Chain A
Amino acid sequence: MPSDDRKLVRRCLAGDAEAVRALVETFQGPVFGLCFRMVRHREDAEDITQEVLLRAVRSLKSWDGERPLRPWILAIAANRCRTHLGRQARRPLPAEDLSEVPDERRPDHDRDLAAELELALAALRPEYRMVVVMYHEQEMPYEEISDAIGRPVGTVKTWLHRARAEMARQLSRQPGMSGLCPQTEKT
């Protein structure tokens, strides 16, 4: 992967427009996914994602070619999200922006689970939420998360375990949630 990253970055630095497109298309999903989970507002997440990708392309010279590209780009995203949340803390958030538009293609119980998951994520401290999203949604290994957030692997594990325990307690308290889980009905 790092050698593919290096080739892509070398082409971007040489001014290859197709390489820039490939980089944007590769990383827009993970960056947007993280930003949306962090700021919980679609338009803001889109703006931040665009800014992150522009910054990343502009700063490719400073990327260390010995390390994978994804945590480097997600580190930029994490910083932008922190800045945004810091600003957001000083102004109230409109209630209608607090949740994702439901995905009509999903079955009802999955939609309910997604909504519950989102609520549980939203209740977490931002640094816990970031680690959970990177681990469970972006499927990043501990080492990459550690690189992206600039914390030791031990801290990443601790935050992840605490976050999961908090979310599990919240999900188990939701009325009717156990009824949505076929496995629960069997036990």
Chain B
Amino acid sequence: MNCEEFERNLQQQVDGGSSAANETDVRQHVQNCPACRDLEEGFRLLTQAFTATRPPQPPQGFSERVLDAFEKDRAVHPRWRLPALGLAAAASLLLALGWWLKPNSTDDDANPMIGRISQDDNHSPLTTHDSPASGRLFPELADDAEDTRDGVVLVEAVEPVSQLFLAVGRSLGSPVRPIAISATEALENLIRDIPDPDSMMMPVPGMREMMPAPMRKKMDEKAPSS
């Protein structure tokens, strides 16, 4: 038996297993190896120490302290808080995007979104004081970054946070906005071309002659005299 086998045998015994080695071999090795004799003694003391030593225990009333802390924690962090914050964040984002994407006929039609947020134009609608979105989206930034010139907040002052929104606006707005404008114009044209209800009474030539006499008389009374 060598020292490694001797130690493995000791470990097995501490684990509660029976010694796999021949007892005579073990005794013979211990007699000839002082280091293993010390190790055997150490293992014996270790086993005794673990048996004699109680694991450390928390103080009396510790569970009450934990439960009190749990109640306080629950009062500060109720379960609904996280989902509600998530919903509020999502709603703010949608609101910002909706406001940003709404059609505006005063913009440059050739490149409306880019024209609106151009760095050349510091008067971005996102950052003007009369813009309701500026107050809603970046109140703390608007307060800190206020510029007295014409009631306008410079784009540079809110850039670190607003850049994300501007980038999203660019990517989403560029394809959507022209379509929105076209749809609005098409709707306006459609409404404009609808004939006046009064003039609809005479759209077909010869219709008047086909009407019964009392009805024809009544129509003549209603029609403006030209």
| Contact status A50-B66, CB under 8 Å | yes
Residue pairs across A and B with Cβ atoms less than 8 A apart, 23 shown, are: A20-B70, A21-B63, A25-B63, A32-B57, A32-B62, A36-B56, A46-B65, A49-B58, A50-B69, A100-B56, A113-B48, A113-B49, A117-B50, A137-B50, A137-B53, A161-B11, A164-B46, A165-B7, A168-B42, A168-B46, A172-B41, A173-B42, A183-B44
> Would you call B57 and A33 a contact (CB within 8 A)?
yes
A74 to B152, CA, bound (A): 57
- Chain B residues contacting A127 (CB-CB under 8 Å) are none
Flag if B42 contacts A171 (CB, 8 Å): yes
7 A-B pairs with the lowest CB-CB distances in the bound complex, closest first: A168-B42, A172-B42, A117-B49, A36-B56, A33-B55, A32-B58, A137-B55
Chain A CB within 10 Å, residue with most, of B53, B62, B69, B70? B53
Interface string of A155-187 (1 = CB under 8 A from B): 000000100110111111100011011011000
Closest to B37 in A: A172
Chain A residues packing against B (C-beta within 8 Å): 20-21, 24-25, 28-29, 32-33, 36-37, 45-46, 49-50, 53-54, 57-58, 100, 103, 106, 110, 113-114, 116-117, 120, 133, 136-138, 161, 164-165, 167-173, 177-178, 180-181, 183-184
Given contacts A164-B43, A169-B39, A183-B44, contact A58 B57 (CB under 8 A): no
A57→B42 contact, CB < 8 A: no
Residues of B within 8 A of A54 (CB): 66, 69-70, 73
Within 8 A of A (CB), among B140-179: none
In the bound complex, residues from chain B placing their C-beta under 8 Å from that of A46 are 58-59, 62, 65
Q: Which of B43, B53, B55 contacts A110 (CB 8 A)?
A: B53
Q: What chain B residues lie within 8 Å of A100 (beta carbons)? A: 56
The complex places the Cα of A100 from the Cα of B57 at a distance, in Å, of 11
User: What DSSP secondary structure best describes chain B's contact surface?
Assistant: helix
Rounded to whole Å, the gap between the CB of A78 and the closest CB of chain B is 16
Q: Which residues of B contact A103 (CB under 8 A)?
A: 54
A136 to chain B: closest residue by CB = B50
